Protein backbone atom coordinates (compact mmCIF):
# COMPACT_ATOMS: atom_id res chain seq x y z
CA UNK A 1 0.00 0.00 0.00
CA UNK A 2 1.21 3.48 -0.86
CA UNK A 3 2.31 5.79 1.98
CA UNK A 4 0.87 8.76 0.15
CA UNK A 5 -1.74 10.91 1.81
CA UNK A 6 -3.62 13.90 0.47
CA UNK A 7 -4.21 16.93 2.68
CA UNK A 8 -7.55 18.66 2.30
CA UNK A 9 -7.32 22.45 2.57
CA UNK A 10 -10.71 24.17 2.71
CA UNK A 11 -10.72 27.74 1.40
CA UNK A 12 -12.77 30.17 3.47
CA UNK A 13 -13.43 32.23 0.32
CA UNK A 14 -16.76 30.40 0.09
CA UNK A 15 -17.68 30.93 3.75
CA UNK A 16 -19.94 33.57 5.29
CA UNK A 17 -17.57 36.55 5.69
CA UNK A 18 -19.65 37.92 8.56
CA UNK A 19 -18.46 35.01 10.68
CA UNK A 20 -14.98 34.11 9.56
CA UNK A 21 -13.84 32.76 12.92
CA UNK A 22 -16.68 30.28 12.88
CA UNK A 23 -15.71 29.27 9.32
CA UNK A 24 -12.18 28.45 10.49
CA UNK A 25 -13.65 26.49 13.43
CA UNK A 26 -15.72 24.51 10.97
CA UNK A 27 -12.59 23.64 9.02
CA UNK A 28 -10.92 22.45 12.22
CA UNK A 29 -13.91 20.39 13.33
CA UNK A 30 -14.18 18.75 9.88
CA UNK A 31 -10.84 17.00 10.35
CA UNK A 32 -9.00 18.96 7.63
CA UNK A 33 -5.51 20.02 8.68
CA UNK A 34 -5.02 23.17 6.63
CA UNK A 35 -7.08 26.32 6.13
CA UNK A 36 -6.55 28.22 2.88
CA UNK A 37 -6.85 32.03 2.93
CA UNK A 38 -7.48 33.66 -0.45
CA UNK A 39 -6.06 37.17 -0.37
CA UNK A 40 -7.33 39.28 -3.30
CA UNK A 41 -6.55 42.92 -4.02
CA UNK A 42 -8.99 43.89 -6.78
CA UNK A 43 -6.03 44.45 -9.14
CA UNK A 44 -4.36 41.09 -9.72
CA UNK A 45 -7.87 39.59 -9.64
CA UNK A 46 -11.20 41.42 -9.82
CA UNK A 47 -12.36 40.79 -6.25
CA UNK A 48 -11.13 42.20 -2.94
CA UNK A 49 -11.28 39.85 0.04
CA UNK A 50 -9.33 40.66 3.22
CA UNK A 51 -5.83 41.36 4.46
CA UNK A 52 -3.37 40.28 7.14
CA UNK A 53 -5.35 41.74 10.06
CA UNK A 54 -8.09 39.19 9.66
CA UNK A 55 -5.55 36.34 9.53
CA UNK A 56 -3.78 37.72 12.60
CA UNK A 57 -7.02 38.03 14.58
CA UNK A 58 -8.03 34.44 13.82
CA UNK A 59 -4.57 32.96 14.48
CA UNK A 60 -4.88 32.61 18.29
CA UNK A 61 -8.15 30.72 17.88
CA UNK A 62 -6.92 27.91 15.63
CA UNK A 63 -4.21 25.27 15.58
CA UNK A 64 -4.67 24.59 11.84
CA UNK A 65 -1.88 25.14 9.34
CA UNK A 66 -2.51 28.62 7.87
CA UNK A 67 -1.96 28.69 4.11
CA UNK A 68 -2.08 32.19 2.57
CA UNK A 69 -2.58 32.43 -1.19
CA UNK A 70 -1.67 35.97 -2.22
CA UNK A 71 -3.47 37.05 -5.38
CA UNK A 72 -2.06 40.56 -5.17
CA UNK A 73 0.36 42.64 -7.21
CA UNK A 74 3.79 43.33 -5.77
CA UNK A 75 3.40 40.75 -2.98
CA UNK A 76 6.87 41.58 -1.64
CA UNK A 77 5.36 44.67 0.01
CA UNK A 78 3.01 42.55 2.15
CA UNK A 79 5.25 39.65 3.16
CA UNK A 80 6.18 41.01 6.59
CA UNK A 81 2.53 41.65 7.42
CA UNK A 82 1.49 38.09 6.53
CA UNK A 83 4.45 36.59 8.39
CA UNK A 84 3.56 38.68 11.45
CA UNK A 85 -0.05 37.51 11.10
CA UNK A 86 1.10 33.94 11.75
CA UNK A 87 0.91 32.26 8.33
CA UNK A 88 2.63 28.89 8.00
CA UNK A 89 2.77 29.02 4.19
CA UNK A 90 2.81 32.14 2.03
CA UNK A 91 2.28 31.57 -1.67
CA UNK A 92 2.82 34.26 -4.28
CA UNK A 93 2.00 34.25 -7.98
CA UNK A 94 4.57 33.89 -10.74
CA UNK A 95 2.60 36.57 -12.63
CA UNK A 96 2.50 39.08 -9.76
CA UNK A 97 6.05 40.44 -9.59
CA UNK A 98 9.27 40.48 -11.59
CA UNK A 99 11.29 39.87 -8.44
CA UNK A 100 10.11 36.39 -7.54
CA UNK A 101 13.45 35.18 -6.26
CA UNK A 102 13.75 38.16 -3.93
CA UNK A 103 10.20 37.76 -2.62
CA UNK A 104 10.54 34.01 -2.02
CA UNK A 105 13.89 34.55 -0.31
CA UNK A 106 12.27 37.10 1.99
CA UNK A 107 9.54 34.66 3.00
CA UNK A 108 12.12 31.95 3.74
CA UNK A 109 14.37 34.31 5.68
CA UNK A 110 11.42 35.16 7.91
CA UNK A 111 11.11 31.44 8.74
CA UNK A 112 7.89 30.76 6.83
CA UNK A 113 7.39 28.16 4.10
CA UNK A 114 7.16 29.73 0.65
CA UNK A 115 5.05 28.78 -2.33
CA UNK A 116 4.82 29.78 -5.97
CA UNK A 117 1.58 29.65 -7.93
CA UNK A 118 0.81 29.60 -11.65
CA UNK A 119 -2.47 30.53 -13.38
CA UNK A 120 -3.80 28.26 -16.14
CA UNK A 121 -2.02 30.19 -18.93
CA UNK A 122 1.41 30.09 -17.26
CA UNK A 123 3.66 27.13 -18.10
CA UNK A 124 5.66 25.09 -15.59
CA UNK A 125 8.82 26.05 -17.50
CA UNK A 126 8.52 29.60 -16.16
CA UNK A 127 9.06 28.48 -12.56
CA UNK A 128 11.66 25.75 -13.10
CA UNK A 129 14.52 28.04 -11.94
CA UNK A 130 12.70 28.46 -8.60
CA UNK A 131 11.78 24.85 -7.87
CA UNK A 132 14.88 24.16 -5.80
CA UNK A 133 13.94 26.89 -3.32
CA UNK A 134 10.18 26.56 -2.87
CA UNK A 135 8.31 24.49 -0.30
CA UNK A 136 5.10 24.40 -2.31
CA UNK A 137 3.84 24.84 -5.86
CA UNK A 138 0.19 25.85 -6.16
CA UNK A 139 -1.25 24.86 -9.52
CA UNK A 140 -4.36 26.89 -10.32
CA UNK A 141 -6.92 24.77 -12.12
CA UNK A 142 -9.25 27.74 -12.65
CA UNK A 143 -8.52 31.37 -13.49
CA UNK A 144 -8.11 32.90 -10.03
CA UNK A 145 -10.57 35.36 -8.56
CA UNK A 146 -13.73 33.41 -7.80
CA UNK A 147 -14.89 30.25 -6.10
CA UNK A 148 -17.29 27.79 -7.67
CA UNK A 149 -15.67 27.50 -11.10
CA UNK A 150 -15.15 24.30 -13.09
CA UNK A 151 -11.73 22.65 -13.00
CA UNK A 152 -9.80 23.09 -16.27
CA UNK A 153 -8.77 19.53 -17.04
CA UNK A 154 -5.73 20.45 -19.16
CA UNK A 155 -4.09 22.09 -16.10
CA UNK A 156 -3.69 18.63 -14.55
CA UNK A 157 -0.85 17.97 -17.03
CA UNK A 158 1.15 20.59 -15.15
CA UNK A 159 0.85 18.56 -11.94
CA UNK A 160 2.16 15.50 -13.76
CA UNK A 161 5.03 17.58 -15.12
CA UNK A 162 5.90 19.02 -11.70
CA UNK A 163 5.77 15.60 -10.07
CA UNK A 164 8.16 14.31 -12.75
CA UNK A 165 10.64 17.16 -12.17
CA UNK A 166 10.38 16.64 -8.42
CA UNK A 167 11.30 12.98 -8.72
CA UNK A 168 14.03 13.56 -11.29
CA UNK A 169 15.73 16.36 -9.34
CA UNK A 170 14.96 14.96 -5.90
CA UNK A 171 13.18 18.16 -4.85
CA UNK A 172 10.85 18.12 -1.87
CA UNK A 173 8.22 20.78 -2.65
CA UNK A 174 4.57 19.91 -2.15
CA UNK A 175 2.11 20.22 -5.02
CA UNK A 176 -1.16 21.92 -4.14
CA UNK A 177 -4.13 22.22 -6.50
CA UNK A 178 -6.66 25.04 -6.37
CA UNK A 179 -9.89 25.52 -8.28
CA UNK A 180 -12.86 23.26 -8.93
CA UNK A 181 -11.62 20.50 -6.63
CA UNK A 182 -14.56 18.44 -5.35
CA UNK A 183 -15.83 14.87 -5.00
CA UNK A 184 -15.98 14.52 -8.80
CA UNK A 185 -12.45 15.76 -9.52
CA UNK A 186 -10.38 14.70 -6.48
CA UNK A 187 -9.33 11.39 -8.03
CA UNK A 188 -7.94 13.03 -11.17
CA UNK A 189 -6.07 15.55 -9.01
CA UNK A 190 -4.55 12.83 -6.84
CA UNK A 191 -3.72 10.59 -9.80
CA UNK A 192 -1.82 13.50 -11.37
CA UNK A 193 0.44 13.71 -8.29
CA UNK A 194 -0.97 16.39 -5.98
CA UNK A 195 -0.37 16.42 -2.21
CA UNK A 196 -2.81 19.15 -1.15
CA UNK A 197 -6.33 19.69 -2.46
CA UNK A 198 -7.73 23.18 -1.89
CA UNK A 199 -11.51 23.10 -1.89
CA UNK A 200 -13.79 26.06 -1.35
CA UNK A 201 -17.38 25.82 -2.53
CA UNK A 202 -17.56 22.02 -2.34
CA UNK A 203 -16.56 22.15 1.35
CA UNK A 204 -18.87 24.97 2.40
CA UNK A 205 -21.79 23.67 0.31
CA UNK A 206 -21.55 20.24 1.97
CA UNK A 207 -24.26 19.64 4.57
CA UNK A 208 -21.91 17.38 6.59
CA UNK A 209 -18.40 18.79 6.27
CA UNK A 210 -16.67 16.02 8.25
CA UNK A 211 -18.28 13.43 5.99
CA UNK A 212 -17.15 15.47 2.98
CA UNK A 213 -13.51 15.49 4.15
CA UNK A 214 -13.66 11.75 4.90
CA UNK A 215 -15.14 11.04 1.47
CA UNK A 216 -12.41 13.12 -0.20
CA UNK A 217 -9.81 11.04 1.66
CA UNK A 218 -11.37 7.73 0.74
CA UNK A 219 -11.72 8.70 -2.93
CA UNK A 220 -8.08 9.82 -2.86
CA UNK A 221 -6.99 6.48 -1.37
CA UNK A 222 -8.61 4.65 -4.28
CA UNK A 223 -6.46 6.70 -6.69
CA UNK A 224 -3.12 5.99 -5.03
CA UNK A 225 -1.30 3.33 -6.93
List residues binding Zn ion (CB under 5 A).
38, 69, 178
Instruction: With H, G, I as helix, E, B as strand and everything else as coil, classify residue 122.
Output: coil
With CA atoms as reference, report the closest residue to 30 among 147, 203, 219, 225.
203
Q: Which does 179 bind (CB under 5 to 8 A by kind): Zn ion, ligand DX5, none?
A: ligand DX5
Least distance (Å) from ligand DX5 to the CB of residue 5? 20
Q: Are 185 and 139 in contact (CB under 8 A)?
A: no
Of 57, 178, 184, 188, the active-site residue reads 178
> Does residue 178 belong to the site contacting ligand DX5 (CB under 6 A)?
yes
With CA atoms as reference, report the closest residue to 196 among 223, 218, 217.
217
> Does residue 70 belong to the site contacting ligand DX5 (CB under 6 A)?
no
114/181 with CB nearer ligand DX5: 181
Question: Would strands 65-71 and 89-93 be described as parallel, antiparallel, or unpaired?
Answer: parallel
> Does residue 201 belong to the site contacting ligand DX5 (CB under 6 A)?
yes
> Does residue 9 belong to the site contacting ligand DX5 (CB under 6 A)?
no
Residues designated catalytic: 38, 178
Sites of contact with ligand DX5 (CB under 6 A): 11, 13-14, 36, 38, 69, 142, 144-145, 147-149, 178-181, 198-202
Amino acid sequence: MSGRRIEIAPSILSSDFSNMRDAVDQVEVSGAGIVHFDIMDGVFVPQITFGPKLVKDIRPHSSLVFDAHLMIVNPETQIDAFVDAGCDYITIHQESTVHLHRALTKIKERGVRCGISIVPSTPVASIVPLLDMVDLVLVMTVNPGFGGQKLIQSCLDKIVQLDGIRKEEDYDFLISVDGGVNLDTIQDVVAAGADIAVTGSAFFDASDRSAFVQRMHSLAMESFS
